[in-house]
A = this chain, B = another copy of it.
Amino acid sequence: MQEARELCFQNEINVLELPPSSLCFYRDWVAPNRPLIIKNALGHWRALSKWTNDYLRDQIGGKEVTVSVTPNGYADSVVGDRFVMPEERRMKFVDFLDIMRHPTRHSGVFYIQKQNSNFSEEFKELLSDAELHIPWVTDALGRWPDAVNMWMGDSRAVTSMHKDHYENIYCVVKGEKQFILHPPTDAPFIPYDWYLQGRYKEVGGKFDIISEPGEKVPWICIDPLSDLSSSHRLYKVVKPIVCTVRAGEMLYLPSLWFHHVRQSHACIAVNFWYDMDYDVKYNYFQFVSKLSQLWQLQHK
């Protein structure tokens, strides 16, 4: 299984100064499953200049939105023997903005991160400041995005390491995002474990973990920020690829890439999830993953 390490990518993310043509994007980045940062791709989004706190308060201050709340910023992550999801709280957007201004006055870490196409569902009033899809990406992939999500939150909020079955176009409008990445070919060295499900619930300023119904779920049992993880028998073999995506930049995060995400305080981003092609690359990935699972089970 060590041979899988030959299947590696470069250790730096390529950067383009302008968006590529649809054909080049597909051929040079999507087909080979290579991440890419694209500058100057969002120049026509009014959001880049308009989305100040005052403007957002005027436009949607009175609207109710869904906010994820956790005691420590870790939503959808492992706590002890559980996979714990955030408390989902409905609040007026103006109240969320106030919390962003004085985060320590409140119990918990607040993050708008609901991945149910919340940009087109909950933030309709802002649609014309951005786009509902990225035309040259839609053309390249031959399909529309399945979801467009809005992200805004506390600098303590962390998205734990995971992978998605989507070609992900991540557009930063304000602040910056830090990504820690591993290519799908690192799968043999990304350890998973199975966890019962739980959910945070704040009661009187303190967070409890409440059991959620359902089977055990598999989740990655390392955290790239923890010293403990960096000495993990498997994980220490691989080297993460780290990048920062700044306001006005777009990250193409290819399908099945493992990613861990943080951001600057009150960073705003919009991402587009396009369904991936389940082609021979996917079949190969499944094959390598299954081999790795068998190997990990035998060497536990």
Contacts and interface: CB of A to CB of B under 8 A. Distances in A.
A83 B142 CA distance: 46
B283 A31 contact: no
Interface string A192-233: 000000000000000000000000000000000000000000
A7 B8 CA distance: 21
A299 B9 CA distance: 33
Contacts of A28: 142
Interface stretch (A119-127, A151-159, A285-293): A285-293
Given A23-B140, A27-B140, A31-B30, A281 B284 contact: yes
Task: Say how many copies of this protein the assembly contains.
Answer: 2
Interface residues of A, number: 36
A24 interface: yes
Interface string A1-40: 0011011110000000000001110111011111000000
A279 interface: yes
A54 interface: no
Interface string A87-124: 00000000000000000000000000000000000000
Contacts of A32: 277, 279-281
Given A26-B23, A26-B26, A26-B31, A283 B140 contact: no
A237 B13 CA distance: 42
Contacts of A140: 23, 27
B280 A280 contact: no
5 contacts: A7-B284, A8-B283, A31-B279, A32-B279, A281-B281
